[in-house]
Amino acid sequence: MIDTDKYTGHTPAPWKADYDFPRHKQIQTGLVGPNGKELGFGYSEKGQIANAQLIADAPLLLEEVKRLRALFEETNHHLDLMVERFGIEALVEMVGEVIE
């Protein structure tokens, strides 16, 4: 399980990667500050740390998304099999009995 609390304070979306090779790579937030200029990568020390942690954990987050998608697909497959075998009305009735 991913501890999402460590991302508290990160720069909110939208982010965009602005690649200007070969000079530099820069991550922009798409946010405009009070002076009308776009805010850069984090606007406080805490925000910069949270942003860095979020970026560092991107591969872990991607794996979690993949795991959850696979679980969702497997659950949908089993639900389809149950609907095919019992019918939707019977399943709704069964679920209603469990909830009550």
pLDDT tens digits for 64-85? 888 999 999 999 999 999 999 9
Residue 11 has pLDDT above 80, yes or no: no
Residues with Cβ < 8 Å from 61, sequence gap 6 or more? 2, 54
Q: What are the boundaries of each domain within the chain? A: 1-56, 63-100
Residue 47 has pLDDT above 80, yes or no: no
Output the average pLDDT for the chain: 76
Rounded to whole angstroms, how far apart are CA atoms 66 and 53? 20
Whole-model pTM: value is 0.56
